[in-house]
Structure 1
Amino acid sequence: MSSSPYKVAFLGCGNMGSAVLLGLLDALDETKSGDGRAWNFTACTKTENSATALVEKLGHHASQVQVLHRQNENALAEADVIILGVKPYLAKGILSKPGIGEALAGKLVISLMAGVSVDEVHELILPAAKESASAATHIVKAIPTIAARYRQSMTLIERSSQPLPQHHEQLVTSIFNFVGSVKILEPDLMDVGSVLVTACLATLTVPLDGLLDGSVIEGLPRRDALELMSQGIAGLGALLQHGGHPAMLRESISSPRGVTIQTLLSVERENARVTFTDALLRGTEYLQKMRPKTEPRQSSEKDKA
């Protein structure tokens, strides 16, 4: 097997892209890739200020990443793997520029764009590239969380209708296993899955803030309350991962005339369960509406065959 390094380019390195990049760098500091190959990273930003901010965020990892701005085409042409971390609404303007489609041809492209399907990424690339070049590009959709920064992401990977070459499939799984856990979902479940693991994490901070406020009212310093709650959440996660159903956990903790059932009653009186259900449904609906507009793809002779 070749010992040449994996050349990975991050196109767009905002909060999510930088979280994945930093998590990868931390993981690779501790371990080698399964086949012993080295990794070279390039990060592409839109402005010089963004590049400077990213270098600062990288800290002691800065020497391991080449940070560029306004040099997308050159960076992508040199890379083997491209991780698209751009905002969905910016995707069309970036990916349809002349030279980008050709630079991506034959490469492994990992899209982190929630709400944008693999086919839509192909459509965005297609106007700037020849049909044959676009068809040769291997695209996979992966939705990590910002917890990738601390290697605690639950990354969703979309099952491809056109299977990836085995070495690409293994590489994608390896990248996101470095920064947490991986779950493969069918394409029609990616939107709701994406909202569940990303947007709803922010939604859950609302009741957590309420619990912190209550703790402060009762005299517990907020810093101490946050420490207790953080470990409590970690413990809850462990119980759920080992097969504990939320309803069963509530039942097992709630004792007759106990404090737990009193707190649960307060929450149920405010219809909190339905509120969170609606939050997930509204988030999923909005994600489906924000898809970029693309032109219908024309079938090539190769497709018809």
Structure 2
Amino acid sequence: MSTVAVVGAGAMGEAIVAGMLARGWQPADLVLAVRRPEHAEALRESYGVEVTDAVTAAAKADVVLVGVKPYDVHGVLMQIGPRLRPDALVVSLAVGLTTAHLESALPEGTSVARVMPNTPSQIGAGVSVISAGASCDDAQLGVVDDIMSAVGTVVRVPEQLQDAAGAVSGSGPAYVFLAIEALIEAGVHLGLPRTTSTQLAMQTFVGASRLAAETGEHPAVLRERVTSPGGTTAAALGELEARGIRAAFLAATRAARDRSTEIGG
């Protein structure tokens, strides 16, 4: 297995570390870099991994995952670039930043890949969208696939579709949480106790998602099976359509995609 450095082991970085260890990587295969000493000590105690500074971590690794905020990425790459191994692969987890932008801060010819994970990765149920930079070959992208598979499903897309994919899956959990929140509040307004409404809404989303994923049937087919002509569900869906639910999702994902592009610029 490759030696992997995780520079910026926040919530997502730590989730990846935990997933990798659960999938068979050894603590010796990993080296982490974080800013706060207390966080470093907690990571050592939890996972038995080496925690050091970014430059030292990067110099030891075949693959360097950069999990810092987008506005910190350029500075981190400028720091670690001179110490990278000649055949190192640098993987960015930052939204919006193109591989060309990443490559511009690294030694010429450095292999780069771009990943957009989402928050369900914290429980091993995420989806990560990955794209290769100019010098990243299929074997190296396969390593990225192996790493991100430790926290869920991996989807490869051409880089020009990264911002669009992130608008669906990267931001997508927030849309789902908002829908759950709205359904809970609706139940409360109908007279349900909040605990009961919460339980009903949560499990309905879990069950519907599992049904769609496990049957592989188109969501429209599954929706039609719930919707009896002239029934309660038909009445409810009529209200959602009248209030423009499809147009709202289209506008929301376009806004997310455009904001990702702005961040990258």
Distance 2:38 2:116 in 1: 26
Query: Residue in 1 aligned with 2:8?
Result: 12
Whether 1:149 and 2:131 are equivalent positions in the alignment is no
Out of 168, 189, 195, the residue aligned to residue 196 of structure 1 is 168
Whether 1:101 and 2:81 are equivalent positions in the alignment is yes
2:76 maps to amino acid:
I
Normalised TM-score (structure 1)? 0.77
Normalised TM-score (structure 2)? 0.88
Per-residue Cα deviation, 1:90-143 (whole angstroms, up to 9, x for no partner): 11222223xx112224212221112112121110224xxxxxxx31x3211122
Query: Residue in 2 aligned with 1:118?
Result: 99
Whether 1:41 and 2:30 are equivalent positions in the alignment is yes
Distance 2:67 2:146 in 1: 18
**Secondary structure in 2 aligned to 1:290?**
helix
Give the alignment's Cα RMSD to 1 decimal. Answer: 2.4
Distance 2:241 2:216 in 1: 24
Per-residue Cα deviation, 1:144-192 (whole angstroms, up to 9, x for no partner): 11211211111111145545262x3332222122211111111111110
Distance 1:229 1:65 in 2: 39
Distance 2:188 2:51 in 1: 43
Query: Residue in 2 aligned with 1:299?
Result: none
Query: Residue in 2 aligned with 1:67?
Result: 51
Task: Give, in angstroms, the shift of residue 219 of structure 1.
Answer: 4.1
Distance 1:287 1:173 in 2: 22
Does the CA contact (< 8 Å) of 2:28 and 2:50 recur in 1?
no
Query: Residue in 2 aligned with 1:291?
Result: 264
Task: Give, in angstroms, the shift of residue 280 of structure 1.
Answer: 0.3
2:210 maps to amino acid:
A
Pairs aligned (count): 263
Task: Give, in angstroms, the shift of residue 254 of structure 1.
Answer: 0.6
Report % sequence identity: 27
Does the CA contact (< 8 Å) of 1:112 and 1:141 recur in 2?
yes
Task: Give, in angstroms, the shift of residue 7 of structure 1.
Answer: 2.3
Task: Give, in angstroms, the shift of residue 194 of structure 1.
Answer: 1.1
Whether 1:90 and 2:105 are equivalent positions in the alignment is no
Distance 1:161 1:74 in 2: 26
Cα distance change, pair 216–120 in 1 and its aligned pair in 2 (3 A) = same
Distance 2:20 2:232 in 1: 43
Cα distance change, pair 123–213 in 1 and its aligned pair in 2 (3 A) = same
Cα distance change, pair 63–152 in 1 and its aligned pair in 2 (3 A) = closer
Q: Which runs of 5+ in 2 are unaligned?
A: none
Whether 1:164 and 2:145 are equivalent positions in the alignment is no
Distance 1:170 1:290 in 2: 27
Task: Give, in angstroms, the shift of residue 221 of structure 1.
Answer: 3.7
Does the CA contact (< 8 Å) of 1:91 and 1:124 recur in 2?
no
Cα distance change, pair 88–217 in 1 and its aligned pair in 2 (3 A) = same
Cα distance change, pair 224–161 in 1 and its aligned pair in 2 (3 A) = farther
Out of 168, 179, 194, the residue aligned to residue 151 of structure 2 is 179
Task: Give, in angstroms, the shift of residue 269 of structure 1.
Answer: 2.3
1:81 maps to amino acid:
V
Out of 222, 231, 234, the residue aligned to residue 261 of structure 1 is 234
Task: Give, in angstroms, the shift of residue 201 of structure 1.
Answer: 1.7
**Secondary structure in 2 aligned to 1:110?**
strand
Out of 214, 222, 229, the residue aligned to residue 186 of structure 2 is 214
Out of 267, 275, 279, the residue aligned to residue 252 of structure 2 is 279
Out of 4, 7, 19, the residue aligned to residue 23 of structure 1 is 19
